[in-house]
């Protein structure tokens, strides 16, 4: 098939392009820039601003499937301090991409939403009950990014109901792995912790945001890509969770990174930094029932692969320049 991956310069989009090319598809990539760490395998790469409708029309023209990963986003530090610009940029991208998909008569359209759409009042305890898809309404999502994602879920549903667009709405839960941003302010928690541990000397310390007791489930990128393809083939058009249901504390995540690095480090807590919700976990009942599959890569294996890649990148950056 002819497939568009919008946001193909980013972490998930880049991995998705690699998988789709490995399966023999013709892939068009679109983003404001190329991938940071390795060249894209896409057949065509459009460097373009998808906040503009005419650029979305160019990107979707002639495509069978669209994976719409183009977004302004980052880790909790970034999304907590950029509500206005992030919400504006993503609303423009997502609404124009949906309209372009309709005009271009795209066959299938996948929108990656986020667990940030779930009500904050369901996530105020570390011992959180796994979040079910029907609990997003009545709405009280996270400020900015969560509201934008929930709005776009609704808009995507309207295009399905009124325009016949065959949609998939996937609520991602904390995706991590190699080839993702690990510094600069937009990195997610696993990558940030890997970077901090890589720079720390054995016996030293590592900074942890909050008190370390907040909980999350983390999904390795290979499981994420497999899940996206299975959901696209499923025919399921309502919102669906994609993540692991294995809850871990931030302290536990730091410990896993330290084991991967072979280092003993003291944790130094900073409660003043953005924390997000106290606890979040994925209920995978619909995912299992719909696809017969769920993520299986352990946090230990995923973190080891992620840490090894980030540590190698840092080591390369620290090598002296030869003239």
pLDDT of residue 77: 84
Which overall architecture, per CATH, does domain 2-176+218-242 show?
Answer: 3-Layer(aba) Sandwich (3.40)
pLDDT of residue 116: 94
Q: Is the pLDDT of residue 86 over 90?
A: yes
Q: What is the average pLDDT score of the chain?
A: 95
Residues acting as catalytic residues: 145
pLDDT of residue 322: 67
Mean pLDDT of 223-249: 97
SS3 readout for 15-59: HHHHHHHHCCCEEEEEECCCCCCCCCCCCEEEECCCCCHHHHHHH
Residues in Cβ contact with 257 at an 8 Å cutoff, skipping those fewer than 6 apart: 190, 193, 194, 197, 303, 307
DSSP letter (8 states) at residue 62: T
Q: Is the pLDDT of residue 275 over 80?
A: no
Instruction: Judge: domain 189-216+246-279+297-314, CATH 3.90.1300.10.
Output: no
Tens of pLDDT along 213-232?
999 999 999 999 999 999 99
The pLDDT-based confidence of 321 (bands split at 50, 70, 90) is low
Q: How far apart are CA 270 and CA 207, in angstroms?
A: 7
Task: Write out the residue limits of the CATH 3.90.25.10 domain(s) in the chain.
Answer: 189-216+246-279+297-314
pLDDT of residue 323: 62
Tens of pLDDT along 46-71?
999 999 999 999 999 999 999 999 99
Task: Write out the residue limits of the CATH 3.40.50.720 domain(s) in the chain.
Answer: 2-176+218-242
pTM of the entire predicted model: 0.95
Mean pLDDT of 15-38: 97
Using alpha carbons, select from 24, 10, 243, 228 the residue that is nearest to residue 115: 243
DSSP H helical ranges for the chain? 11-22, 53-60, 76-79, 83-103, 145-163, 189-199, 221-234, 250-261, 285-291, 299-318
DSSP letter (8 states) at residue 5: E
Contact present, 204 and 313 (Cβ < 8 Å) = no
Contact present, 37 and 98 (Cβ < 8 Å) = no
Contact present, 143 and 83 (Cβ < 8 Å) = yes
Among 23-37, 66-80, 219-233, 309-323, which stretch is predicted with the lowest mean pLDDT?
A: 309-323
Q: Is the pLDDT of residue 24 over 90?
A: yes
Using alpha carbons, select from 75, 317, 37 the residue that is nearest to residue 199: 317
Q: How far apart are CA 64 and CA 102, in angstroms?
A: 12
Q: Is the pLDDT of residue 320 over 90?
A: no
Contact present, 8 and 69 (Cβ < 8 Å) = yes
Q: What is the CA radius of gyration of the chain?
A: 19
Tens of pLDDT along 115-147?
999 999 999 999 889 999 999 999 999 999 999
pLDDT of residue 73: 87
Residues in Cβ contact with 264 at an 8 Å cutoff, skipping those fewer than 6 apart: 202, 203, 258
The pLDDT-based confidence of 317 (bands split at 50, 70, 90) is confident
pLDDT of residue 250: 95
pLDDT of residue 151: 98
Tens of pLDDT along 152-198?
999 999 999 999 999 999 999 999 999 999 998 889 899 999 999 99
């Amino acid at each position: 098939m002819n497939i568009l991956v919008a946001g193909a310069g980013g972490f998930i989009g880049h991995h998705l392009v690699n998988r789709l090319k490995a399966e023999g598809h013709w892939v068009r990539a679109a983003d404001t820039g190329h991938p940071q760490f390795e060249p894209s395998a896409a057949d065509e790469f459009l460097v373009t601003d998808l906040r503009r409708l005419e650029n979305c029309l160019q990107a979707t023209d002639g495509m069978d499937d669209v994976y719409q990963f183009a977004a302004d986003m980052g880790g909790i530090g970034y999304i907590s301090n950029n509500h206005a610009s992030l919400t504006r940029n993503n609303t423009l991208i997502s609404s124009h991409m949906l309209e372009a998909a309709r005009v271009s008569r795209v066959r299938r359209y996948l929108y990656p939403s986020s667990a940030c759409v779930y009500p904050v009042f369901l996530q105020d305890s570390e011992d959180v009950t796994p979040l079910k898809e029907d609990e997003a309404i009545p709405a009280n999502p996270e400020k900015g990014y969560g509201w934008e994602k929930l709005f776009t879920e609704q808009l995507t549903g309207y295009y399905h109901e009124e325009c016949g667009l065959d949609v998939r709405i996937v609520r991602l839960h904390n995706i991590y792995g190699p080839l993702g941003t690990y510094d600069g302010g937009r990195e997610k928690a696993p990558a940030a912790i890997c970077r901090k541990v890589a720079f720390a000397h054995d016996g030293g310390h590592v900074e942890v945001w909050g008190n370390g007791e907040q909980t999350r489930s983390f999904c390795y990128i290979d499981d994420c890509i497999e899940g996206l393809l299975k959901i696209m083939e499923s025919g399921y058009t309502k919102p669906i969770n994609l993540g692991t249901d294995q809850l871990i504390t931030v302290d536990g995540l730091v410990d896993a990174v330290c084991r991967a690095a072979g280092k003993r480090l003291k944790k130094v807590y900073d409660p003043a930094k953005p924390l997000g919700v106290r606890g979040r976990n994925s209920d995978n009942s619909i995912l299992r029932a719909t696809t017969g599959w769920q993520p299986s890569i352990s946090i230990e294996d995923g973190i080891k692969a992620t840490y090894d890649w980030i540590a190698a990148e840092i080591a390369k950056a620290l090598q002296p320049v030869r003239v």
